[in-house]
Amino acid sequence: MANWGITSALVALSKVESKNMRELIARVLNAVCKHADLRGLVVQQGGTKVLASIALDGTEKGMRHAAQALARIGITQDPSIAFPGQRVRIRYILVNSLFLTGFFFKLRQWISCDQFVTSSIWNIQE
């Protein structure tokens, strides 16, 4: 479906004001972005601007899906091409979404657990 222009159709549908509909659009675009070979099509057909607008103003789940799709695009695509003129805005979205999902709290827990395990291993070997 992505090769048939689903992104273009979703970009056209994104003009709707319903946040629930925009959440569904973000979910579909996130599902498309799970495939690295399709991320270029999303960028080419204007999906990044839609994802950025949903990530800034949408339901909590919609914002999370949009930010995750943007992160996936940012991993494989050149940011100057994928996000022309929006790089500061995209950075804000990604950092904000990390706070929303509690990523930093989970990372801090993992690091403290990892340090505990590492120190335990070193103490056993001594």
Look-up: residue for tokens 């399709």? 38
Closest CA to 88 of 58, 59, 56: 56
Residue 65 contacts residue 23 (beta carbons within 8 Å): yes
Write the pLDDT tens digit of every residue in 89-109: 777 777 777 666 565 555 556
Write the pLDDT tens digit of every residue in 10-41: 999 899 989 999 999 999 999 999 999 999 99
Residue 58: other Cβ atoms inside 10 A: 22
* Whether this model's pTM surpasses 0.75: no
Q: Where does the pLDDT of residue 74 fall: very low under 50, low under 70, confident under 90, or very high at 90 and above?
A: confident
Query: What are 121's two structure tokens?
Result: 């291993």
